């Protein structure tokens, strides 16, 4: 789970780096009249959309409470995303994503439980008093699994 979150951020950083450095440099060279080949940069946009949908599916499993499971999460990945060419389900509770840097295989054991970590009640209360955070407040509703396991309120920790 943690590696999936890290790789999600890495994909975002790679996309930002490509745009900020390579694309900006290409525009600068062209503006200065320097001939530049129009090589294509590998975009992370499709992987970012996929990973966002995978994390949303994980949130959905957490919202199911005790009915949510790692195996159902994996089956949903297979049903929804395996045909896209950058994701495939494996045997024995695993799925793979073809990241910018290469293929990474994830084992789903514990994903739902780890994603059910909740925010401390004092942090939620502080955020409720902060101006401009109103759009985020619906995401702070406790998940049934997190509330039962910890007795606290909050939302999945990757937010």
The per-residue pLDDT for range 8-57, each reduced to its tens digit, is: 999 889 888 888 888 788 888 888 988 877 666 677 888 888 899 999 99
Count of C-beta atoms within a 10 Å radius of residue 157: 14
Read out DSSP for 77-97? HHHHHGGGSSEEE-SSSEEEE
Instruction: At 46, list the tokens.
Output: 């499709």
Rounded to 10°, the helix 45-63/70-81 angle is: 140
150 pLDDT above the threshold of 70: no
101-135 exposure pattern, b = at least 16 Cβ within 10 A, e = fewer: eeeeebebeebbbbbbbbbeeeebeeeeeeeeeee
Indicate the average pLDDT of the chain.
Answer: 79
Count of C-beta atoms within a 10 Å radius of residue 67: 10
pTM of the model: 0.65
Count of C-beta atoms within a 10 Å radius of residue 17: 14
The per-residue pLDDT for range 53-91, each reduced to its tens digit, is: 999 999 999 888 888 899 999 988 888 887 667 777 777
Strand order in the sheet with 94-99: 87-89, 94-99, 102-107
The number of CA neighbours under 13 Å toward the Cβ of 145 is 22
Residue with tokens 């001939």: 35
For residue 155, give the 3-state DSSP assignment. Answer: coil
Predicted confidence band of residue 159 (pLDDT cuts 50, 70, 90) = very low
């Amino acid at each position: 789970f943690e590696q999936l979150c890290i790789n999600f951020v890495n994909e975002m950083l790679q996309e930002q780096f490509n745009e900020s450095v390579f694309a900006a440099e290409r525009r600068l060279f062209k503006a200065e009249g320097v001939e530049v080949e129009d090589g294509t940069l590998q975009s992370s946009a499709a992987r970012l959309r996929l990973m966002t949908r995978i994390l949303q599916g994980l949130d959905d499993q957490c919202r199911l409470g005790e009915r949510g499971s790692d195996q159902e999460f994996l089956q949903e990945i297979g049903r929804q995303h395996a045909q896209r060419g950058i994701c495939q389900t494996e045997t024995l509770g695993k799925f793979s994503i073809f990241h910018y840097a290469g293929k990474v295989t994830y084992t789903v054991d514990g994903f739902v439980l780890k994603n059910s970590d909740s925010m401390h009640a004092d942090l939620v209360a502080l955020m409720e008093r902060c101006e401009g955070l109103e759009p985020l407040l619906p995401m702070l509703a406790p998940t049934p699994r997190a509330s039962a396991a910890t007795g606290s309120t909050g939302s999945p920790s990757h937010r």
